């Protein structure tokens, strides 16, 4: 009987293959129709098996709504924080396929990851949107705020809640969760932009306080909020953080994401790890304005770690996400012990751990006091270190002797997995939390023809050994032909990490030069032929950068916001060399002409005489910044 069933299954598959001589199959071939509410996943699993057997296939969805449900019933009375994540569709070991949504809506339920692409080559995902009927973020409108309470109006139909023991718990599909103090991002009701001079948790811990429902849909939180916001301010209410990825790409090559809209995901919208050549073309994380929302994803719109080849971000518009537009970086791995001439140990837990180290990969050795990439070695073997049956680290053996003077506390940076980055024709707006573009990679970076209107710094270039451990030093960055329109409305007012950047473009690696002769960390950052519309003074904040050129730019003074930033110099430089500021056109109303320097000589900066810049040495710039 079993053999007969197997034979009939093979016959059925063969029939589908023969019926689709042009390598195009429809999800309806497997019995699923749109708009039925059925779980798409079982049908999709069968369709992807056909794609596995026949490279070059296009899997097509007739336009409509398709639902995706988690493995466990949404009515399970279990702690959702401990549940494993269900993946909506998983592409494993596939080659040369196109997943075409046909303009359909993919609706997810409960705790789910949208999709995973693992160990695939030449895969295209295109033409669909993703949303949750009940997202894991809620929102409300502040209708009253006093010295003793805050009243919040909530659409109880879309964001249901209950009150237990004086605390508000929001309800979803299989979950009941409180409001997290972190974020609580505030928006202007009309423009949907982040409210001027607001950051993370600007209201303090008000949403953790004793609450009551004064009337249907009106929640009163008893306590004075940290600030008194204007009536009508909208606020997003986060219930989880970094919960489940949107579309993840792992150990894959030549991936195209085209004409995709993610209205909600439970962490980063798009993420890539150890993958080669990824293109996002009109693949965006967006607020679902039709549903009256102000939020989209829980974390970054896109995040790429330790990739290679070229990452292309084209024609994208991200709004409402809980973190940055994009972050592209490597990993700084801390050496915990040197065992012998060929062998070191690294940790397996926390930031800066060695989990990603792979046999055959080439690594730079870096002394953090100098922060320069040194000699390279290739990993020969990697073994686990256990203590009381708990994994605590790895022993790493290299192909030849370690560089001289290698010691505990030094770092490794993977040379094998470093990408080139192109970002073109994108809109990086003030409708999402924090910053715009974050990038640290030694390969070429091109950022051109984009429109920036960000709440925080528009472009942040870091590289650190002490917090996120995101490497590494940039060697060739071109920022050209962009418009920067009133960025930095939520930048550094006091110098706190919770605030989102010192200048329109901020270059702040954790390496702080010790004197005027120290070799810088970053190199060759060219900012040219851009238009800066600015309401405040700071254009550039740069630390430890050689060949920083700001040329051919147009600076226009606006009066749309009140100046407020801690940095009141046009350029604030620390440990930079070969700085050129010339051929720029400054609006006569933009009167700031200060260039403040530390760990530098005045001869390190070249300016046009016509601009009448005043170069002033200043000591201890980093003491003003709590996050360096």
User: How far lies 183's CA from each of 64, 220, 221, 521, 552, in Å?
Assistant: 34, 19, 17, 32, 38
pTM for this predicted structure: 0.94
Residues facing residue 90 across a β-bridge = 116
Alpha helices in 238-323 (DSSP H): none
Q: What is the pLDDT of residues 531-574, one digit of tens each?
A: 999 999 999 999 999 999 999 999 999 999 999 999 999 999 99
pLDDT at res. 19: 45
What pLDDT sits at residue 186? 97
Q: pLDDT band at 495, cuts 50/70/90?
A: confident
Query: Quick one: pLDDT band at residue 628, thresholds 50, 70, 90?
Result: very low
Residue 409 is encoded by which pair of tokens?
A: 């506390």
Residue 7 pLDDT > 80, yes or no? no
DSSP E strand stretches across 206-316: 211-215, 218-222, 234-238, 247-250, 253-262, 270-273, 276-285, 302-305, 308-314
**In degrees, to the nearest 5, what angle opens at C-alpha 49 toward C-alphas 43 and 53?**
150
Gap between the Cα atoms of 534 and 556, Å rounded: 6
Residue 145 pLDDT more than 50?
Answer: yes
CA proximity to 263, closest of 173, 137, 141 = 137
Q: How far is 370 from 517, CA to CA, in rounded Å?
A: 11
511/543 Cα distance (integer angstroms): 8
Q: DSSP string spanning 21-52?
A: TTSEEEGGGGT--TTS--BSHHHHHHHHHHHH
For residue 404, how many other CB atoms are within 10 A of its CB? 8
Tens of pLDDT, residues 441-467: 999 999 999 999 999 999 999 999 988
Helix (H, G, I), strand (E, B) or coil at 111: coil
Phi, psi of 400, deg, nearest 5: -155, 180
Model pLDDT, residue 83? 57
pLDDT over 80 (residue 523): yes
For residues 397 and 291, give the distance between their C-alpha atoms in angstroms, rounded to a whole number.
Answer: 55
Confidence of residue 181 (pLDDT cuts 50, 70, 90): confident
Q: At what angle do helices 41-53 and 2-19 cross, to 10 degrees?
A: 70
Average pLDDT over residues 589-617: 96
Q: Where are the beta strands (DSSP E) in 146-275?
A: 149-153, 161-164, 167-172, 175-177, 186-187, 211-215, 218-222, 234-238, 247-250, 253-262, 270-273
Residue with tokens 């050994």: 465
Q: Alpha-carbon dihedral of residues 2, 3, 7, 13, nearest 10 degrees?
A: 50
CB atoms < 10 A from the CB of 78, how many?
11
Nearest to 414 by CA among 371, 376, 381, 440: 376
Q: What 3-state DSSP class applies to 158?
A: coil
> Could you count the other beta carbons within 10 Å of the beta carbon of residue 564?
16
- Exposed, middle or buried by CB within 10 Å (0-12, 13-18, 19+), for 505? buried
Which conformational region is residue 11 in: left (phi greater than 0), alpha (psi within -120 to 50 degrees), or beta?
A: alpha
Q: Nearest-CA neighbor of 432 among 266, 300, 245?
A: 300
Note whether 364 and 374 are within 8 A (CB): yes
Q: Are 163 and 213 in contact (CB under 8 A)?
A: yes
Region 198-221: mean pLDDT is 96
**CA proximity to 594, closest of 604, 607, 575, 583:** 607
Nearest-angstrom CA–CA distance, 613 and 598: 16
Range 229-249 average pLDDT: 96
Residue 75 scores a pLDDT above 50? no
Distance (Å, whole) CA 434 – CA 453: 12
Q: For residue 18, give every residue at least 6 positions away whose Cβ sits within 8 Å of its Cβ, in sequence order, or none.
A: none
By the 8 A CB rule, do 128 and 62 touch?
no
- The mean per-residue pLDDT over the stretch 271-295 comes to 98
Q: How large is the average pLDDT for residues 508-526?
A: 95
**Overall average pLDDT of the 413-439 stretch:** 97
Q: What is the pLDDT of residue 512?
A: 87
Only one residue has tokens 């070799």, namely 519
Return the pLDDT at 73: 57
Mean of the per-residue pLDDT values of the chain? 93
pLDDT band, very low/low/confident/very high, at 85 (cuts 50, 70, 90): confident
User: 554-557 and 86-92 as β-strands: parallel, antiparallel, unpaired?
Assistant: unpaired
% pLDDT > 70, the chain? 93
User: Which residues are bridge partners to 422 per DSSP?
Assistant: 312, 446
Pair 104, 64: CB distance under 8 Å: yes
């Amino acid at each position: 009987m079993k053999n007969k069933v197997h034979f009939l299954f093979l016959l059925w598959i063969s029939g589908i293959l023969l019926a689709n001589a042009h390598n195009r199959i429809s999800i309806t071939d497997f019995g699923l129709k749109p708009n039925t509410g059925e779980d798409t996943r079982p049908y999709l699993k069968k369709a992807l098996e056909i794609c596995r057997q026949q490279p070059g296939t296009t899997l097509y969805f007739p336009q409509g709504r398709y639902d995706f449900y988690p493995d466990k019933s949404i009515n399970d009375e279990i702690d959702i924080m401990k549940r494993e994540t269900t993946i909506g569709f998983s592409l494993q070991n596939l080659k040369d396929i196109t997943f075409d949504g046909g303009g359909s809506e993919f609706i997810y339920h409960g705790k789910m990851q949208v999709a995973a692409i693992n160990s695939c080559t030449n895969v295209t995902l295109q033409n669909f949107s993703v949303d949750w009927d009940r997202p894991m973020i809620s929102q409300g409108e502040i209708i009253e705020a006093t010295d003793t309470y805050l009243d919040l109006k909530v659409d109880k139909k879309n964001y249901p809640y209950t009150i237990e023991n004086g605390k508000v718990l929001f309800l979803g599909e299989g979950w009941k969760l409180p409001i997290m103090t972190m974020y609580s991002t505030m928006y202007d009701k009309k423009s949907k932009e982040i409210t001027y001079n607001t950051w993370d948790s600007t209201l303090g811990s008000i949403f953790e306080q004793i609450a009551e429902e004064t009337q249907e849909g009106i929640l009163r939180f008893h306590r004075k909020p940290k600030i008194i916001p204007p009536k009508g301010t909208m606020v997003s209410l986060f219930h989880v953080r970094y919960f489940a990825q949107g579309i993840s790409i792992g150990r894959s090559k030549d991936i195209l994401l085209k004409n995709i809209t993610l209205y909600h995901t439970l962490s980063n919208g798009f993420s890539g790890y150890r993958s080669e050549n990824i293109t996002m073309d009109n693949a965006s994380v967006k607020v679902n304005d039709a549903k009256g929302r102000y939020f989209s994803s829980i974390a970054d719109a896109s995040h790429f770690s330790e990739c290679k080849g070229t990452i292309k971000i084209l024609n994208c518009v991200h709004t409402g996400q809980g973190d940055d537009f994009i972050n592209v970086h490597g990993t700084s791995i801390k050496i915990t012990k040197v065992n012998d001439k060929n062998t070191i140990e690294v940790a397996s837990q926390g930031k800066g751990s060695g989990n990603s180290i792979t046999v055959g990969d080439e690594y730079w050795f870096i002394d953090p006091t100098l922060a320069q990439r040194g000699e390279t070695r290739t990993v020969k073997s990697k073994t686990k270190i256990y203590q009381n049956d708990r994994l605590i680290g790895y022993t790493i053996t290299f192909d030849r002797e370690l560089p001289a003077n290698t010691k505990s506390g030094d770092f490794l940076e993977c040379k094998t997995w470093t990408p080139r980055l192109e970002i073109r024709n994108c809109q990086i707006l003030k409708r999402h939390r924090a910053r715009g573009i974050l990038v640290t990679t030694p390969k070429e970076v091109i950022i051109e023809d984009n429109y920036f209107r960000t709440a925080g710094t528009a472009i942040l270039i870091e590289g650190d050994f002490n917090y996120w451990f995101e490497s590494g030093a940039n060697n060739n960055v071109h920022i050209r032909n962009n418009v920067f329109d009133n960025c930095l409305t939520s930048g550094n007012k006091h110098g706190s990490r919770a605030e989102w950047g010192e200048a329109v473009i901020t270059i702040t690696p954790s390496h702080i030069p010790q004197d005027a002769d120290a070799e810088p960390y970053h190199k060759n950052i060219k900012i040219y032929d851009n238009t800066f519309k600015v309401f405040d003074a700071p254009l550039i904040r740069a630390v430890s950068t050689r060949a920083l050129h700001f040329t051919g730019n147009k600076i226009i003074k606006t009066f749309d916001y009140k100046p407020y930033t801690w940095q009141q110099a046009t350029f604030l430089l620390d440990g930079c060399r070969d700085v050129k500021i010339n051929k720029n056109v400054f609006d006569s109303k933009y009167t700031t002409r200060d260039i403040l320097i530390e760990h530098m000589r005045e001869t390190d900066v070249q300016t046009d005489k016509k601009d009448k810049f005043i170069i002033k040495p200043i000591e201890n710039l980093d003491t003003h910044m709590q996050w360096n």
